[in-house]
Amino acid sequence: MSDSTKGEYSTGQFRLQPRWSSRPRTAPRDWRPEIVGYSVQNSLNIKTVRLPLIGALIEAARQAGADEIGQLRFGLSDPRKYRQQAIAEAVAHGREDAENAAAAGMRLGAIRQLTISSQDGPPVRPLPGAVMVRSMSAEAAPPIIAPDDLQVRAAVTLTFALLPKVGTVRSGQ
């Protein structure tokens, strides 16, 4: 992982747990378990925009001794930016739709109400399940990780004032 830039990875969790001896079937009354070894779990968080390197990063982790790779997630580096773009597009489409509907004899006035739907968080696409890393030959290619496109959605509700078309005469005048 020497090719990664500083700040792209960090230790997520590090656990060291003793492994205890099993009680023999014919153990004496005063038998006590003993530590026979230790189990180490180290999780590494990698955050990168260099998606073509993901397979190589997984392979580097495998070569360093990782035996399980899991919780691969793909998200946006700047979700707010894309959410704002989606809101702007939704408002533009809403105005266009309202103008087309008003073309049946009216014209649009000012926006009376604007509601933007809430969003629970940035879109993240997880890859299901953990990947067990098996011993591979040195010539084996790194795994291919191909994320799907992420979609950013925004829903807006626009309420416009409807005004008579300029130049139309109302009945009764």
**What DSSP string runs through 29-51?**
TT----EEEEEEEEEEEE--S-G
The yes-or-no verdict on residue 135 having pLDDT over 50 is no
**What letter does residue 52 receive in the DSSP assignment?**
G
Residue 144's pLDDT is what? 65
> Dihedrals φ, ψ of 26, to 5°?
-110, 45
In this structure, what token pair is assigned to residue 145? 């990780």
| Overall pTM surpassing 0.75 (yes/no) | no
Residue 116's pLDDT is what? 92
The total number of residues written for the chain in this structure: 173
Gap between the Cα atoms of 147 and 73, Å rounded: 9
> Looking at residues 92-118, what average pLDDT do you find?
91
Helix (H, G, I), strand (E, B) or coil at 160: strand
Residues 60-102: pLDDT tens digits? 888 888 877 777 777 888 888 988 999 999 999 999 999 999 8
Residue 136's pLDDT is what? 47
> Dihedrals φ, ψ of 116, to 5°?
-110, 130
